[in-house]
Chains A and B, each alone.
Chain A
Amino acid sequence: MAVRKLDCLTELCPIPLLKAIQEFKTMDIGDILVIEADHSCVCTDVKKWAREKEYEVKSIEIGPGEWEIYIKKTR
Chain B
Amino acid sequence: MKGLRKYLKKPWPYWLGGVLLGLINVALLSLIGMPWKVTQGLLFLESGISNYTILNIGIIVGSLVATLLASEFKIKKIKDRKQVITALAGGIMMGYGAKLASGCNIGAFFSAIPSFSLHGWFFGIFAFLGAGLGVKLIVRFVL
Contacts and interface: CB of A to CB of B under 8 A. Distances in A.
B81 interface: no
B138 A15 contact: yes
Chain A interface secondary structure, helix, strand, loop or mixed? mixed
Given A15-B138, A15-B143, A40 B72 contact: yes
A18 B134 CA distance: 12
Interface in B50-87: 67, 70-74, 76-79, 83
Interface string A23-50: 0000000000000001011001000000
A64 B74 CA distance: 6
B11 A22 contact: no
A18 B138 contact: yes
Interface residues of A, number: 16
A3 interface: no
B20 interface: no
Contacts of A66: 74
Interface in B111-139: 135, 138-139
Contacts of B138: 14-15, 18
A22 B70 CA distance: 31
A15 B142 contact: yes
Nearest to A65: B74
A22 B71 contact: no
17 contacts: A9-B76, A10-B77, A10-B78, A10-B79, A10-B83, A14-B135, A15-B142, A18-B139, A19-B143, A38-B76, A41-B11, A44-B11, A64-B73, A64-B74, A65-B67, A65-B72, A65-B73
Interface of A: 9-10, 14-15, 18-19, 22, 38, 40-41, 44, 61, 63-66
Nearest 5 Cβ contacts at the A-B interface: A65-B74, A65-B72, A10-B79, A10-B76, A64-B71
